[in-house]
Copies of this chain bind each other. A is one copy, B any other.
Amino acid sequence: MSPYDPSAFPPFAVTVDLVVLTVRRHALCALVVRRGEQPFQGRWALPGGFVRGDEDLGAAAARELAEETGLCAHDPSAPGVDNGAHLEQLATYGDPQRDPRMRVVSVAHLVLAPDLPAPRAGGDANSARWAPVDELLEGSDRSATVLAFDHARILADGVERARSKIEYSSLATAFCPPEFTVGELRRVYEAVWGVALDPRNFHRKVTGTPGFLVPAGGTTTRQGGRPAQLFRAGGATLLNPPMLRPEV
């Protein structure tokens, strides 16, 4: 079998789908767009689109993200400064039946973003919104799901990746604005994991991990109570020892 012969392999459409997560009002939320056409017309779906002929996968994901949200994401596989959200490849979904129209292989990407103003609709989507992942994944075993295609599965995988990755990396700061307090960071962990954490021990833990947080200089009272010190994300990306997620 010669790889030069175009008849020797079947052609595929390749897309990127985006799991864009943020924390709003103490809940983990995902960006979804309403489908304007068949199939699944009127249902919610993850944002995404076709990869262009001369475009890398991460670049396609970043482009789609910018089109949908205006976010300028940083792909850590490319050198550069993190000037916005975190973007990483999640997994690839290629079930022959996942799209009834044709054979589509979708390379899903995960984006972690700070809380944003209302998303703007783009492309062929009627509208876009942030939805709590709990609602989107409700009864997604067996029963009919609110999401189109296999997007409930993709979203679940993305949420699971985010939940485990903030354990051993500093990625939780990607959910925060450039300057944030220890309490705000703790509420991110609580929202993503869906648990309550001890504020005192959390404070000791994150401030005691070298390179996790660096003082930004100021204080704020935007949460009420005693003024809290402001921090930025430090240079460290891996947390050793990790944050421990409480049992069930």
Contacts and interface: CB of A to CB of B under 8 A. Distances in A.
Interface stretch (A24-32, A45-53, A180-188, A221-229): A45-53
A203 to B, nearest CB: 23
Q: How many copies does the complex hold?
A: 2
A229 B174 CA distance: 48
Interface stretch (A79-87, A88-96, A136-144, A194-202): A88-96
A11 B8 contact: no
A236 B95 CA distance: 28
B10 A52 contact: yes
Nearest to A98: B56
A94 B3 contact: no
Nearest to A55: B96
A103 B105 CA distance: 14
Nearest to A106: B92
Given A3-B101, A105-B105, A94 B50 contact: no
Contact of A95 (B56, B92, B101): B56
A214 to B, nearest CB: 24
A107 B50 CA distance: 17
Contacts of A91: 89
A15 to B, nearest CB: 8
Q: Please name the 6 residue pairs, one residue from A and one from B, whose CB atoms are nearest each other, closest first.
A: A11-B11, A10-B53, A57-B94, A9-B50, A92-B92, A12-B14
Given A10-B52, A11-B12, A11-B13, 11 more contacts: A1-B50, A2-B37, A8-B50, A9-B13, A12-B13, A12-B14, A12-B105, A53-B96, A56-B96, A57-B94, A92-B107
